[in-house]
């Protein structure tokens, strides 16, 4: 009977935590933990996962992805990656002007 109560409480908590979060990045910044629940899973049942946020605050994460049927759940650790989208995509500023680049042959 106690086990049934525990399962019920966990199910309600999971529902409250994950409702309206399908295909959206969720994270707790203070402990640098993120999770994503997706409904378009393909591939292996267990795989390494990654995430790059292309809007401020530009987090990057690595974790583990588990697939169950057509759904997948990814859980991982965040780290800060630069202050701009160019930093996030590992880009770099060039010393040449746009005119000089057009003249390259």
For residues 78 and 32, the answer to whether their CB atoms sit within 8 Å is yes
Q: Would you say the pTM of this structure is higher than 0.75?
A: no
Q: In the structure encoding, which two tokens stand for residue 69, read together?
A: 């049927």
User: 21 CB contacts (<8 Å, ≥6 apart)?
Assistant: 37
Q: What is the pLDDT along the chain (105 residues), one digit of tens a residue?
A: 788 888 888 777 676 666 677 777 778 887 888 888 888 878 888 999 888 887 777 788 899 998 888 888 888 998 877 777 666 666 667 788 888 888 886
Q: Which of 90, 52, 92, 48 shows the shortest CA–CA distance to 66?
A: 48
> Largest alpha-carbon pair distance within the chain?
77
For residues 58 and 83, the answer to whether their CB atoms sit within 8 Å is yes
Domain boundaries, the chain: 33-84
């Amino acid at each position: 009977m106690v086990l049934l109560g525990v399962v019920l409480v966990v199910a309600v908590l999971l529902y409250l935590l994950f409702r309206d979060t399908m295909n959206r990045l969720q994270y707790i910044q203070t402990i640098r933990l993120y999770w994503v629940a997706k409904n378009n899973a393909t591939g292996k049942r267990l795989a390494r996962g990654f995430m790059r946020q292309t809007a401020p605050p530009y987090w990057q994460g690595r974790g583990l992805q588990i697939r169950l049927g057509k759904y997948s759940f990814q859980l991982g650790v965040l780290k800060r990656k630069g202050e701009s989208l160019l930093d996030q995509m590992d880009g770099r500023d060039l010393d040449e002007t746009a005119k000089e680049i057009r003249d390259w042959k």
